[in-house]
Structure 1
Amino acid sequence: MGVKGEETRARLIAATRTLVEAQGYFGTGLNQVLAESGTPRGSLYFHFPSGKDELVSAALTQSGQEVGDLIESLSADRASAAVIIHRLLGIFADRMERSEYGKGCPLATVALEVAGGNEELRRVCTEAYERWQGALADRLVDEGRSRAAAEATAGAVLAQVEGAVLLARVQHSLVPLGQAARAVELLLAG
């Protein structure tokens, strides 16, 4: 595939990421993706022959990788687990404020919609969340926790973060993120 083809594919994925995060899987139509990306319908099916699920899968995979890469880069820089989570909450807060609470976690909106009915997309979300949790657990092991304690703590922290993002979007307030940051500090101190 040439440069133009890669650019078209990237525009389709970027538009899909933006739309599904704000509107969800069911609220986003392919015509919206085409309009947002400025690409013709033929390009959509050339790059994503299986259609919407394949396109949304690529968008979620990219979003999940972006957050996973951030967590891993902070871990590589030897940032503490608490710093990593504060940074992640800050990024989610910035996304919410810039979008007037239309966005937060790039996976959560779709993950909630597809958990019970779309196995392919549920799997993509699961893999991303497992990567995030695993990277955080690895950092906690580096900080001296046992593997079992690190995995349990990382799961609790991720649940706290995702719950706070959901509440912040619903309430149109960053207060739940601040509360989550304090709760995570207590959890990581224990």
Structure 2
Amino acid sequence: MGAKGTETRCKLLGATRALVEKHGYFGAGLNQIIETSGAPRGSLYFHFPGGKDQLVAEAVAQAGSEITALIDQAEPGDTATAVTSLLTVFGDRLEASDWHHGCPVATVTLDVAAANDTIQAECAAAYAAWEGALRIRLQADGRSDAADLAAAILAMIEGALLLARAQRNREPLERVARTIHAML
């Protein structure tokens, strides 16, 4: 694929990510994705022959990889600081988007994971990668309860994001950061 094709594909993925995160799977139609991306209509099925499901699944996978990288890039040995940094990034995204862009996977998960196996698999893979990255950090910190603690921390992060979005303030994120610091 040439540079122009790669650019078009990236535009389509970026538009999809933004729209499904803000409006959910059902609130982001193909016409909106094409309009937002500025890509030619024919490019959609050229790059994503599986249509909307393939496009959304790849957007979820891309977003999931970015969050995993954020968890992985923090300094080893201090999981509490890594989680606080992640919560800060999420809080910044929420505020900058006027409380529309929280977790890049949660909105899609809530919309279609129960009924769409393709997208459910990508959502599950993203969450498994985040939990795995947290578990590895906690194991490096010497925690024997790393698996359980990673699941609890992920659940706390997701819950805090939901509450912050509902309340339109960062306080739930800050409270969870303090609680995680106390736990660790």
TM range (shorter): over 0.9
In structure 2, stretches of 5+ residues that fail to align are none
Q: Distance in 1 between matches of 2:161 and 2:148?
A: 20
Which residue in 2 is equivalent to 1:163? 159
- TM-score normalised by structure 1 residue count: 0.94
Kindly indicate whether residue 52 of structure 2 is the aligned counterpart of residue 52 of structure 1. yes
Correspondence list, 1:6-21, <5 A: 6-21=6-21
Distance in 2 between the 1:71 and 1:151 partners?
15
**TM superposition shift of 1:119:** 1.1
Matches within 5 A, 1:52-71: 52-71=52-71
Instruction: Tell me how far 1:158 sits from its aligned partner.
Output: 0.3
Task: Spell out structure 1 runs of 4+ moving beyond 2 A.
Answer: none
User: Where does structure 1 lack aligned partners over 5 or more consecutive residues?
Assistant: none
Q: How many residues align?
A: 184
Matched residue type, 1:113: D
Aligned mate of 2:143, from 126, 145, 158: 145
Q: Which residue of 2 aligns with 1:35?
A: 35
Contact kept? 2:112, 2:120, Cα under 8 Å? yes
Residue 66 of structure 1: how far off its partner (Å): 0.3
TM-score w.r.t. structure 2 length? 0.97
Cα deviation code 1:92-150 (max 9, x no counterpart):
1000100110111111111111221111111101111111111111111111112xx10
RMSD, aligned α-carbons: 0.9
Residue pair 2:12, 2:34 contacting (<8 A) in 1 also: yes
Separation in 2 of the partners of 1:166 and 1:123? 21
* Secondary structure of 1:104's aligned partner: coil
Structure 2: distance between partners of 1:52 and 1:165:
26
Q: Distance in 2 between matches of 1:103 and 1:2?
A: 31
Superposed displacement of residue 175, structure 1: 1.1
Q: Of 160, 163, 171, which aligns to 1:175?
A: 171
2:119 paired residue number: 121
Q: What fraction of aligned residue pairs are identical, expressed as a percent?
A: 51
